[in-house]
């Protein structure tokens, strides 16, 4: 997945219209014989490029005004040698009907502010069909369009489009023609960098790293693959990869050498022995690459939580097949009491314990994986500890209903099998068939998750409630009168948010947002910049940014950011807190679904840096060096980039108190303008320097 720092380097390409553009218009269609069909615009570019930072503005040539805005989303796939295309449906005006003597057009725009939190709109292409015009508003205001050489002034047959043909990797390498439409595919007479075929590695890519906060005792996996420039894996690349700490305060523990099998090296049971922020380096002597930041602490702030429950289970022996769904938050959870403590009952707080013992059940794990058609379920007892930011299920030790969770194949699910004597075979949790007066089905029932026994987890205790005869949906979707009834809760407990009546609930409704990059913040002059990113989103409405300072007890909302909604690709967000109060500040995100459900991110603590000063930057042209001095910073990292955003030099993450100055070489840089970016614990700084 892309991370924010890589996104910045990739998308700086939009900053100069004189340079080759990484993303470009590849195909369009607006008029055909008979009723218009299949109208829209396709963009192409390097595989892996996230498109949520781009827009296409549709212009009416008669007045130069924007008549519609097309917001792009998703990620460009690898369809040919590291390049691909994505089609977006849009209703395009027919130029001959929009205004006499003028064409219509569209502008491909990179919105740096929305994507990265700074910069502005950069027009990558401003194209028109059936004539030229000057834009009077929008990002292209004042610009004159470039007329395309091929159009549909004479309507084309249904199923045709205007598209690029030729070979290359840049817009200028291709020419426009009319051919059979090829939406979301390589055009019929188009190739990227030669015939589409074998993938040849040119780099290493970290394809899997820990997400979120890790405890120092947590084991985690890492995967490194040999890829081409577009991120496609070279399955024939072999050898051995070694891992080392590129930056961070402690040591990597575990086996750090692994073979490349199918182009990828997989490491397991790694850990760090000291809290801090780490970057790993992978190398085989030919290729090397650094990982994203990996966060390790003795305390992580997002607590484990109960997300949902199949209360009226499927199968004959109901008690065996009831399921409780959890997320481990930022904690590693050992399967032992009292670190793992779940109680249930008719009163609050409940007192009947359901988590005194756990066991393995390899047979049922195999059944789940076989039915799903993918290997996603892991026996929690076999690994001993459920990792942070993981989904897991709690079941009785001998379930006999073969659930089919084939819709869950996008992530790993840990299954903890309970041997507690209170988890019985005939049923544990009151359900909606028990609504008679004798069963007290109209009285609420309560769960409590108590993880205060975890290391540094004193606040990880939540209470949940539901009422069988009002909160459950009957009958359910499985065997019996009411099998498969379930509920889900928002983070932090309380009453239910959603009820379902199926044996296999959609896990994505239990985890609407998965964070790729946790909430981060930097001080920039008189404001704070917050960044975060999501790996997936389902029915996500918006994020509310909340803040509290060291003198207040409650978080207060300070702004909102619209969410992508539904996405399986990395989505990046930025938010500015202008003129924040002095002292230590605490931030968190309140993520709100379209149905009103709420979850919270981990809390970010941003402490004051009264002694921090802006770095001192000197370019010693005669010595081919860029010197940067850090005054008052705790740590620092420096990158040098060209105007295409390509990273030319990058320092490791430095302990600035021990190394207050660094010099990066500019030897070999061609004459021209370059960028530097400096990130410290106090702020982020950027600037330019010239090489003669």
SS3 string, 448-495, reads: EEECCCCCCCCCCEEEEEECHHHHCCCCCCCCCCCCCEEEECCCCCEC
Give the per-residue pLDDT at 455. 61
**Proportion of the chain above pLDDT 90, given as a percent:** 17
Give the per-residue pLDDT at 471. 85
> Average per-residue pLDDT in the chain?
79
Q: What is the spatial distance between Cα 155 and Cα 34, in angstroms, rounded to a whole number?
A: 9
Residues with Cβ < 8 Å from 619, sequence gap 6 or more? 625, 626, 627, 666, 689, 690
> What CA dihedral angle connects 638, 641, 647 and 653, to 10 degrees?
0
Q: pLDDT tens-digit profile of 446-473? A: 999 988 877 655 467 888 999 888 888 7
Q: What is the spatial distance between Cα 208 and Cα 264, in angstroms, rounded to a whole number?
A: 11
> What CA dihedral angle connects 474, 476, 481 and 482, to 10 degrees?
-70
Residues 302-321 have a mean pLDDT of 86
Q: What is the spatial distance between Cα 184 and Cα 78, in angstroms, rounded to a whole number?
A: 11
Give the per-residue pLDDT at 44. 93
Strands 121-129 and 146-147 turn out to be parallel
Q: Select from 544, 586, 587 the least CA-distant residue to 563.
A: 544
The CA-CA-CA angle for residues 362, 510, 488, to 5°, reads 100
In the DSSP assignment, the letter for residue 171 is G
What pLDDT band is residue 12 in, cutting at 50, 70 and 90?
Answer: very low
In the DSSP assignment, the letter for residue 169 is S
Please return the burial class of 557, using the count of CB atoms within 10 Å of its CB with bins 0-12, 13-18 and 19+: exposed
Query: Which of residues 78 and 377 earns the better pLDDT score?
Result: 377
Count CB-CB contacts under 10 A for residue 406. 12
What pLDDT band is residue 185 in, cutting at 50, 70 and 90?
Answer: confident
The counts of H helices and E strands in the chain are 8, 51
Q: Select from 524, 532, 529, 527 the least CA-distant residue to 580.
A: 527
Q: pLDDT tens-digit profile of 371-411? A: 888 888 999 998 888 877 688 999 999 999 988 887 676 56
98 pLDDT exceeds 60? Answer: no
Q: What is the spatial distance between Cα 317 and Cα 321, in angstroms, rounded to a whole number?
A: 7
* Candidate from 191-205, 452-466, 657-671 with smallest mean pLDDT: 452-466
* Candidate from 129-133, 139-143, 496-500 with smallest mean pLDDT: 496-500
Most confident of 163-167, 477-481, 582-586, 590-594: 163-167
**Pairs from 162-165 (Cβ < 8 Å, separation ≥ 24):** 162/27, 162/28, 162/29, 162/129, 163/26, 163/27, 163/28, 163/42, 163/187, 163/188, 163/190, 164/26, 164/27, 164/44, 164/190, 165/189, 165/190
Cis bond leading into 338, ω under 30°?
yes
With b for 16 or more beta-carbon neighbours within 10 A and e for fewer, the 460-473 pattern comes to bebbbbbbbbebbb
Give the per-residue pLDDT at 517. 66
Q: What is the spatial distance between Cα 533 and Cα 77, in angstroms, rounded to a whole number?
A: 19
Q: pLDDT tens-digit profile of 543-580? A: 889 888 767 767 788 888 888 777 766 677 888 888 88
Q: Identify whether the C-beta of residue 216 lies closer than 8 Å to the C-beta of residue 193.
A: no
Query: Which of residues 649 and 246 earns the better pLDDT score?
Result: 246
Which H or E run includes 289? strand 288-290
Give the per-residue pLDDT at 25. 96
Q: Identify whether the C-beta of residue 581 lies closer than 8 Å to the C-beta of residue 523.
A: no
Query: Which of residues 536 and 476 earns the better pLDDT score?
Result: 536
Q: Diameter of the chain by CA atoms?
A: 91
127 pLDDT exceeds 90? Answer: yes
Give the per-residue pLDDT at 671. 81
Q: Identify whether the C-beta of residue 545 lies closer than 8 Å to the C-beta of residue 538.
A: no
Q: Identify whether the C-beta of residue 194 lies closer than 8 Å to the C-beta of residue 81.
A: yes
3-state SS assignment for residue 96: helix
Please return the burial class of 120, using the count of CB atoms within 10 Å of its CB with bins 0-12, 13-18 and 19+: exposed
Q: Which residues pair with 272 in a beta bridge?
A: 252
Q: What is the spatial distance between Cα 104 and Cα 641, in angstroms, rounded to a whole number?
A: 37
Residues with Cβ < 8 Å from 214, sequence gap 6 or more? 220, 271, 272, 294, 295, 296, 297, 300, 332, 387, 388
Give the per-residue pLDDT at 504. 76
pTM score > 0.75 for this model?
no
Q: pLDDT tens-digit profile of 261-280? A: 877 888 988 989 888 778 89
Give the per-residue pLDDT at 597. 63
> Which segments of 313-412 are extended strands (E)?
323-327, 333-334, 341-345, 352-353, 358-359, 377-379, 385-386, 391-396
CA distance readout (Å), 242 to 225, 254, 676? 12, 12, 30
Residues 156-172 have a mean pLDDT of 87
- Phi and psi (nearest 5°) for 382? -70, -25
3-state SS assignment for residue 611: coil
What pLDDT band is residue 158 in, cutting at 50, 70 and 90?
Answer: confident
**Proportion of the chain above pLDDT 70, given as a percent:** 81
Q: What is the spatial distance between Cα 259 and Cα 270, in angstroms, rounded to a whole number?
A: 16
Please return the burial class of 648, using the count of CB atoms within 10 Å of its CB with bins 0-12, 13-18 and 19+: middle
Q: pLDDT tens-digit profile of 23-33? A: 999 999 998 88
Give the per-residue pLDDT at 683. 63
352 pLDDT exceeds 90? Answer: yes
Count CA within 13 A, CB hemisphere, residue 202.
10
Most confident of 185-199, 419-433, 454-468: 419-433
CA distance readout (Å), 136 to 65, 94, 100, 129, 139? 6, 20, 17, 17, 9
Give the per-residue pLDDT at 612. 55
Q: Select from 257, 275, 276, 277 the least CA-distant residue to 267.
A: 257
Residues 640-669 have a mean pLDDT of 76
The CA-CA-CA angle for residues 450, 549, 587, to 5°, reads 60
Q: What is the spatial distance between Cα 51 and Cα 111, in angstroms, rounded to a whole number?
A: 10
């Amino acid at each position: 997945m892309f991370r924010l720092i890589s996104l910045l380097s990739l998308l700086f390409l939009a900053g100069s219209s004189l340079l080759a553009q990484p993303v470009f218009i590849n195909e369009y269609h607006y008029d055909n014989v008979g009723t218009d069909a299949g109208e829209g615009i396709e963009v192409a570019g390097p595989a892996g490029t996230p498109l949520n930072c781009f827009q296409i503005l549709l212009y009416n040539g008669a007045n130069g005004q924007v008549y519609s805005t097309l917001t792009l989303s998703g990620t460009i796939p690898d369809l040919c040698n590291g390049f691909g295309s994505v089609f977006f449906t849009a209703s395009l005006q027919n130029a001959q009907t929009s205004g006499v003597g003028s064409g219509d057009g569209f502008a491909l725009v990179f919105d740096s502010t929305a994507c990265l939190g700074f910069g502005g709109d950069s027009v990558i292409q401003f194209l028109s069909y059936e004539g030229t015009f000057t834009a009077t508003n929008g990002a292209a205001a004042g610009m004159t369009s470039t007329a395309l050489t091929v159009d549909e002034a004479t309507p084309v047959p249904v199923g045709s489009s205007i598209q690029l043909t030729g070979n290359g990797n840049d817009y200028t390498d291709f020419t426009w023609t009319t051919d059979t439409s090829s939406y979301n595919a390589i055009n019929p007479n188009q190739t990227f960098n030669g015939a589409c075929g074998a993938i040849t590695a040119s780099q290493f890519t970290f394809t899997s790293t820990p997400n979120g906060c890790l405890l120092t005792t947590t084991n985690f996996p890492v995967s490194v693959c040999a890829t081409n420039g577009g991120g496609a894996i070279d399955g024939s690349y072999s050898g051995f990869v070694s891992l080392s700490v590129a930056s961070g305060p402690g040591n990597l523990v575990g086996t750090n050498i692994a073979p490349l099998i199918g182009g990828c090296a997989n490491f397991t049971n790694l850990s760090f022995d000291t809290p801090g922020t780490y970057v790993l380096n992978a190398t085989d002597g030919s290729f090397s690459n650094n990982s994203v930041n990996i966060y390790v602490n003795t305390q992580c702030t997002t607590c484990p939580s109960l997300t949902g429950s199949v209360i009226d289970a499927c199968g004959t022996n109901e008690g065996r097949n009831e399921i409780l769904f959890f997320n481990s938050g930022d904690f590693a959870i050992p399967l032992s009491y009292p670190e793992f403590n779940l109680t249930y009952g008719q009163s609050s707080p409940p007192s009947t314990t359901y988590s005194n013992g756990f066991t393995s059940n390899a047979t049922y794990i195999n059944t789940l994986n076989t039915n799903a058609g993918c290997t996603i379920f892991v026996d929690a007892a076999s690994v001993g500890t459920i990792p942070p930011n993981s989904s897991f299920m709690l079941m009785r030790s001998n379930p006999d209903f073969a659930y089919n969770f084939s819709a869950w194949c996008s992530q790993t699910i840990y299954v903890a099998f309970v041997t507690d004597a209170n988890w019985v075979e005939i049923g544990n949790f009151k359900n909606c068939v028990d609504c008679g007066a004798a069963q007290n089905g109209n009285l609420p029932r309560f769960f409590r998750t108590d993880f205060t026994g975890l290391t540094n987890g004193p606040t990880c205790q939540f209470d949940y409630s539901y009422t069988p005869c009002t909160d459950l949906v009957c009958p359910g979707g499985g065997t019996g009168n009411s099998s498969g009834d379930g509920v889900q809760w928002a983070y932090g407990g309380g009453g239910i948010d959603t009820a379902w009546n199926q044996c296999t609930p959609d896990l994505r409704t239990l985890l609407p947002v998965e964070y790729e990059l946790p909430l981060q913040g930097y001080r920039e002059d008189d404001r704070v910049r917050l960044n975060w990113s999501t790996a997936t989103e389902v029915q996500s409405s918006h994020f509310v940014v909340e803040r509290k300072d060291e003198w207040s007890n409650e978080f207060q909302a300070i702004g909102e950011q619209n969410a992508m909604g539904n996405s399986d690709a990395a989505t990046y967000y930025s938010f500015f807190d202008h003129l924040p109060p002095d002292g230590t500040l605490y931030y968190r995100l309140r993520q709100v679904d379209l149905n009103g459900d709420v979850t919270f991110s981990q809390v970010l603590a941003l402490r004051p840096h009264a002694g921090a000063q802006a770095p001192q930057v000197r370019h010693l042209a005669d010595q081919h060096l860029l010197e940067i001095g850090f005054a008052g910073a705790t740590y620092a990292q420096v990158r040098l980039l060209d105007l295409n955003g390509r990273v030319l030099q990058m320092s490791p993450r430095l302990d600035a108190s021990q190394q207050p100055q660094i010099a990066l070489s500019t030897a070999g840089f061609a004459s021209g303008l370059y960028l530097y970016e400096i990130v410290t614990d106090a702020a982020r700084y950027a600037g330019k320097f010239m090489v003669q």
